[in-house]
Structure 1
């Protein structure tokens, strides 16, 4: 049996960020005193709020009920995280560089899972990046395995506004969506989503 190949395709859905004469220096960690001041969730994949763990470099969200099935009425599910960070000082920006979703997929022959990560800040919603990938079963037997779905923003990273004296970096919105399709039965359950956040001085 040949396992299907994970394909990750990168595309930007809006105008790219303007080029800078000199890129700000990236930092390994956020500003001292930075904290999550607000977090909310929306979407049919997180009717019950995920559990948040980790810090401001690698936050992790554990889903209690993100499960899609084909056929059925929940073939497509999404969970969008709305995150507000207070940097407790001026001169900072942050961006999502990668997200990884751990879960389980069951695909009968002729079915597939498409997955998407969309990122934007509410203060500049026109600057939006979407990354997508898929798994499909072109074999004669059922594919049933644990998966880690990695979406890397690469050059499509969307940076927050540069914080002023208030320390407000804006509202980061990250939407993960999984969609099943095909002529057979399929199942996808997302168990946990992990982010890699990058920080830099500006």
Structure 2
């Protein structure tokens, strides 16, 4: 029953930086690496996007469990128009979920650029089961108003290495998750 599910959605404050559509030439994704106990098998993460335009999407084949796991994606792209920066403003995860009453799925995404790894933004949200068993598909959106901008693209159009580490955690009595996909919503600005 869906009545057993409480979705928390914290709306972010207004974006603090002036933003624009993607640059005239969006960067082409040319390298995708991943690591973590939730995506350690070869081919367990696949990009369904070829560029970093307004969004980038991925599928997972082994990001599942009944406790916690993590999957870190490391993405490189090049060929963007010169003089642009990009940041993640929202991440949407989809999958299937089973929770007992008194349990929750807490999720955390750490976003950073390799050239400034000390500057990390954490997005989080949760799904709480309040009164009866929940077993169904889910969509969870993590939003932030703290944008973590890439370096300014130069002549090669490379914004740097974007890293997103996702960690789902089952809290409380019992539950399990199977995360099937992620979509990063991106925002651009001139620099």
TM, length-normalised to structure 2: 0.86
Note the residue ranges of structure 1 that are not aligned, 5 or more in a row.
12-18, 70-74
Whether 2:46 is the aligned partner of 1:51: answer yes
Q: Find the partner of 1:136 among 128, 134, 143.
A: 128
For 1:147, the equivalent position in structure 2 comes to: 138
Whether 2:168 is the aligned partner of 1:178: answer yes
Aligned residues: 183
CA contact (8 A) 1:30 1:87 kept: no
TM, length-normalised to structure 1: 0.82
Q: 1:45 offset after TM fit, Å?
A: 1.1
For 2:4, the equivalent position in structure 1 comes to: 3
Deviations 1:94-151 (A, max 9, x none): 1111110001111112221111111111111122111111122221x21112110100
Structure 1 residues 87 and 199: alpha-carbon distance in aligned structure 2, compared to 1, 3 A threshold: farther
Deviations 1:25-84 (A, max 9, x none): x33223426211221111111123312112322221111111111xxxxx1111111111
Note the residue ranges of structure 2 that are not aligned, 5 or more in a row.
none
- The root-mean-square deviation of aligned C-alpha atoms, in Å, is 2.1
Larger radius of gyration: 1
Aligned positions of 1:8-157 closer than 5 A: 8=9, 26-32=19-25, 34-48=27-41, 49-54=44-49, 55-56=51-52, 57-69=54-66, 75-139=67-131, 141-153=132-144, 155-157=145-147
